Amino acid sequence: MIPKRGRVIGAVCLLGFTVSVACHPKSNAARPGDPSARAASTDSAATLRRDIDSLVADPTLTHGYWGVLVKSLKADETMYELNAHKLLMPASNMKIVTLAAAAATLGWDYTYETQILAAGRIFGGRLDGDLLVVGSGDPSIGVADGMSDRLFDEWASRLKAAGIETVTGRIIGDDDAFDDEGLGFGWSWDDLPDDYAAGVSALQFNENAARVTIAPGPDVGDFAGVSVVPPNSALAVDSSVTTSATGTPARIEARRLPGGVRLTICGSVPLGSEPGTRAVSVDNPTLYFVNALRSALVARGIDVRGPAVDIDDIRDAPSRRSAAPVVMYRSPPLSTLAVRLMKVSQNLYAETFLKTIGAAAGTPTFLGGRTAVQAALHAWGVAAGDVIARDGSGLSRYDFVTPSALVTILTHVAHDDKMRGPFEAALPIAGRDGTLANRMKGTAAEGNARAKTGSMANVRALSGYVTAADGEPLVFSIIANNFETPPETITKTAEAIVVRLATFSRR
C-alpha cells in the first residue's frame, strides 16, 4: 500500500517521444542466422538503448538517480542497463523479494490455521472456562464483502454444535506463533497512524485497520462529526476537526504514537461536503480480533461472561494441551493471498509473509524471516550485498536493492514452472487492474506488461515482465530515487520505457 505522501495518479505519456522502427519489404527479409539478420538485430538493440537513454537523460530528471536493467528471458541477453548494480530504495518493489521467497520456502498451497479451543468442562450448554483463540498469522480475515459475518456465523454454529451456548470465562487471543514486535524496522513515525503501516500479529482482523468517517458540522466553525468502524478498534479518538467554508479544501491530519490507543485528528472539512474517510491502524491487532469475535458471538446468541483479552496481558492463561479443539479454520492458499499482496500492494500481507517465512525456519521474527529470505536469494545467485532488507513491504527507508537483484529474482521465477504461474497472476496488469489499472492505457503495454509498482516520497519503482512486439519475453526493473521533480514526471518516464519495450522488435 502506498504511503499518503507518495500517492500519485499515473497517466500515460511518452514525453513527446516517438519511436521510429525501420520496415523492410518482405522479399528482402533476412533469414534467421545469416549476417544480415544479425546486423538487423544489433541495430534494433542499439536503437532501443539510444531511445531509453534519451528518456532518462531528459533535463527535468537531472537531480534524480536512476537504476534500470532490461534483459531478454529468451536469450539471457542484457538489452539495457544503467546503474544496474547500485543499491536503491525499492519501496513496494521489495514485495517481489518477499513473495518469491515465500513461494519458494512455504509453497503456493500454504495456508494459515486459526483454531478455537475450549479450555474447561462443557456440560448443559455451558463451557466452564475460557475460549482460547490460537492464530498463526492469517491476514485475510476481515469485514470486506461480509466475510467476517459469514465466518463468525459458522464459528458460532460450531460452538453451539459442540454444546457451548454460554462461556463463563474469557475469549483469550493466543498470538504466540509470532513474536510481539509488530512494526517494521525503520518505519517513519508519521506513517504509523495509517492503515498501510499497521502492525503484524499472529491474530489479525480487518487487516488491523479501522475506518474513521469525518462529516462536516451544520455551520462554519462547528466541530465535525467523527465515527469509527468497526466499533471494536479500542482506539480513543481525540478530534479537533472543524467545519470550514464551502468550497475550501479538506485538510485532515492524524497522529498516534507507537503503543498508544489515542488517535489525534485535526484539520477541517468544508461545509456541505460529503463525509470523508481515513483508514487508520489499530494498536493491538490481537485484542482487536478477540473483541470482534466476542461481540460476534454475543450477537449470535452465545453468552460470553468474561472479557476479550490478549494472552500477553494475563498470567493465568490455560494450556493449549489441556484444551479441546472446537473450531479449525484455514485461510485461502498463498497463491490467492498473493493477489491481494501484489495487486493493491498490501503491506500487512508482506510483513506477515516475512514472519511466516521466519517461523517456518524456526524463528518467528522479522530477523528470522530476513535471514531465511537471504538464504533463498543466495541459492538463486543473488549476492548478499544486492538486497538489504529491513522489512517485507518496502515501507522502511533502510531497504535497498539493486535492479540486477530484482531482475535475477524475476528471471528465476519465470524459469521455475512451479513458481511462475501464481506469481505472474498476482502482478498488476498495465491498463487493466491493481495499481496499474489506469496506467499505460491505449499503448502496446496495455494488457501486456505485468509489473509491481513502488511508490513513496522521492522513490518510484516498476519491475516485472513485458512481451516485445515480436513475441520476445523481457524482464525489467526501473527504480528512481532522490528526485525533486514532480512524481508524475518520474512515473511517466518509467511507463515510457515499458511502452518502448513493448514496441521493440528484432525483425
What is the residue whose three cell numbers read 482506539?
A: 235
Question: Is the omega angle on the peptide bond into residue 307 within 30 degrees of 0, that is, cis?
Answer: no
Q: How many angstroms separate the CA atoms of 183 and 201, rounded?
A: 10
- The residue-averaged pLDDT of 76-97 equals 97
Calculate mean pLDDT across residues 397-421: 98
Residue 15 has pLDDT above 50, yes or no: no
pLDDT digit string, tens, across residues 273-308: 999 999 999 999 999 999 999 999 999 999 999 999
Taking a C-beta distance cutoff of 8 angstroms, is the pair 392, 187 a contact?
A: no
The pLDDT score that the predictor gives to residue 259 is 87
502 φ, ψ (degrees, to nearest 5): -70, -25
What tens digit of pLDDT does each residue of 397-407 get?
Answer: 999 999 999 99
pLDDT digits (tens, 9 = 90+) for 123-175: 999 999 999 999 999 999 998 888 999 999 999 999 999 999 999 999 999 99
Q: Are 377 and 405 in contact (CB under 8 A)?
A: yes
Ranges assigned E (strand) in 192-307: 209-215, 225-229, 236-239, 242-244, 251-255, 262-270, 276-281, 303-304
φ, ψ for residue 11, nearest 5 deg: -120, 150
167 neighbors 304 (Cβ within 8 angstroms): yes
Q: What is the DSSP string of 445-467?
A: TTTT-EEEEEEETTEEEEEEEEE
C-alpha count within 13 angstroms, C-beta hemisphere, residue 117 = 20
Which residue, 184, 104, 171, 106, is CA-closest to 135? 171
Looking at the DSSP bridge assignments, the partners of residue 225 are 215
With a cut of 80, say whether residue 37 has pLDDT above it.
Answer: no
CB-based contacts of 437: which residues, under 8 Å, 6+ apart? 428, 431
**CATH number corresponding to 4-13+39-108+335-503:** 3.40.710.10
Q: Tell me, what's the pLDDT at 144?
A: 86
Domain covering 112-324, topology: D-tyrosyl-trna(Tyr) Deacylase; Chain: A; (3.50.80)
CA nearest neighbour of 455 among 4, 68, 91, 98: 91
pLDDT of 468 strictly over 80 = yes
60 pLDDT band, cuts 50/70/90, is confident
The arrangement of strands across the sheet holding 276-281 comes to 225-229, 209-215, 276-281
Phi then psi for 463, rounded to 5 degrees? Answer: -140, 140
Beta-bridged to residue 451, according to DSSP, are: 464
pLDDT of 23 over the 50 cut: no
Whose grid coordinates read 491481494? 340
pLDDT at 425 exceeding the cut of 80:
yes
Rounded distance between C-alpha atoms, residue 318 and residue 121, angstroms = 13
Q: What percent of the chain has pLDDT over 90?
A: 86
Active site residue 95: yes
Mean pLDDT for 390-411 is 98
Asked if the model's pLDDT at residue 17 lies above 80, the reply is no
One fold for 4-13+39-108+335-503 and 112-324: no
Q: In the structure grid, which three cell numbers stand for residue 48, read together?
A: 532501443
Among 282, 327, 287, 324, residue whose Cα is nearest residue 308: 287
Residue 81 has pLDDT above 90, yes or no: yes
Please give the angle made by the CA atoms of 9, 10 and 11, to the nearest 5 degrees. 115
Is the pLDDT at 32 greater than 60, yes or no?
Answer: no
Look up residue 496 and give its DSSP letter. H
Strand 276-281 to 209-215 pairing:
antiparallel
**Domain positions in the chain:** 4-13+39-108+335-503, 112-324
Residue 38 has pLDDT above 50, yes or no: no
The residue-averaged pLDDT of 464-486 equals 96
345 is catalytic: yes
Catalytic residue among 95, 343, 452, 492: 95
Reading the block at residue 289, the C-alpha cell is 480480533
Which single residue is written with the C-alpha cell 521466519?
Answer: 358
Q: What is the pLDDT of residue 18?
A: 36
Q: Average pLDDT over the chain, rounded to whole?
A: 91
Helices 366-379 and 94-106, axial angle in degrees (round to 10): 80
Binned at pLDDT 50, 70 and 90, residue 24 comes out as very low
pLDDT at residue 3, as a whole number:
52
CA dist 178 and 431 (Å) reads 38
- Residue 20 makes CB contacts below 8 A (sequence gap 6+) with none
> DSSP letters along 285-323, please?
HHHHHHHHHHHHHHHTT-EE-SPEEEGGG-S-PPPSTTS
Q: Which of 73, 75, 17 is nearest to 48 (CA)?
A: 17
Upstream peptide bond of 473 is cis (omega within 30 degrees of 0)? no
Measure the CA–CA gap between 216 and 221, rounded to whole angstroms. Answer: 10
pLDDT of res. 62? 87
Is the pLDDT at 366 greater than 50, yes or no?
yes
Alpha carbons 128 and 359: distance in angstroms, whole number: 33
pTM of the model: 0.90
Q: What is the pLDDT of residues 192-240, one digit of tens each?
A: 999 999 999 999 999 999 999 999 999 999 999 999 998 888 899 999 9
Catalytic residue among 148, 239, 281, 345, which? Answer: 345
User: For the segment 170-191, what is each residue's pLDDT rounded down to a tens digit?
Assistant: 999 999 999 999 999 999 999 9
Q: What percent of the chain stands above pLDDT 70?
A: 92
Nearest to 88 by CA among 485, 494, 480, 504: 480
Q: Tell me what the mean pLDDT of segment 386-403 comes to.
A: 97
Residue 23 burial by Cβ neighbours in a 10 Å radius (0-12, 13-18, 19+):
exposed
